[in-house]
Copies of this chain bind each other. A is one copy, B any other.
Amino acid sequence: MSKTDKRDDILRAALELIAENGFHGAPMALIAEHAGVGAGTIYRYFENKDVLITELFREIETRIIPVLLDGYSLQKSINERFFHLGTVMLRYLIENPLEFKYLEQFINSPFGVVHRRDKLMGKNERDVFRELFEDGISQQVVKNIPLVILFDLAFGPLLAVTRDHILDFIQLDEDLMGLTVNACWDSVKR
């Protein structure tokens, strides 16, 4: 078994347990057990639980970005670009409920606040969403209000709708997904 195998086993076990039971329903001992690994072994790969949690977040983020960018073109209209990102994201999250649940846990925790602050400060590499809204404002097709609010208007509902689907409050099909993304567009468009 290669070195990274065990690391992956640990990450997968953490993803499953945290997504289903939250940070506090996923003790290290249980993560170890589900990964088929000794409790101490986790600490050979991750300094502590906090590091494990943030590494897992980065891992998921890295998985999503190429999916979003597949077929995404800066040549298209702002509206089309928004629709592309929105539906692809919605579809991805619905097809990967574990990852969605994990992201939700992460975002609604002190980890998430730190992450959000860093993002807004522009500490990151290229951010397609920020780019899209900035283009939209300068082309006068998007409301000229603070970026943060545009994020809230557009992605807050997308996450909320995904959660409702996963909790079985609604059944999102392609039609309903389209309607939802369009509704979000209505809220940010001029």
Residues of A within 8 A of B (CB): 22, 24, 104, 108, 110, 113, 116-117, 120, 143, 145-146, 148-149, 151-153, 156-157, 159-161, 164, 167, 169-170, 176, 179-180, 183-184, 186-189
Contact = CB atoms under 8 A, between A and B. Distances in A.
A117 B183 CA distance: 24
A149 B164 contact: yes
Contact of A184 (B108, B153, B167): B153
Contact of A160 (B22, B113, B156): B156
A99 B157 CA distance: 22
Contacts of A176: 145-146, 149
A170 B150 CA distance: 12
A179 B143 contact: yes
A176 B161 CA distance: 25
A157 B164 contact: no
A151 B161 CA distance: 9
Nearest to A150: B183
Contacts of A167: 113, 116-117
A153 B116 CA distance: 21
A116 B164 CA distance: 10
Interface centre among A117, A161, A187 (most CB of B within 10 A): A187
Contacts of A149: 157, 161, 164, 170, 176, 179-180, 183
A91 B22 CA distance: 32
Contacts of A104: 108
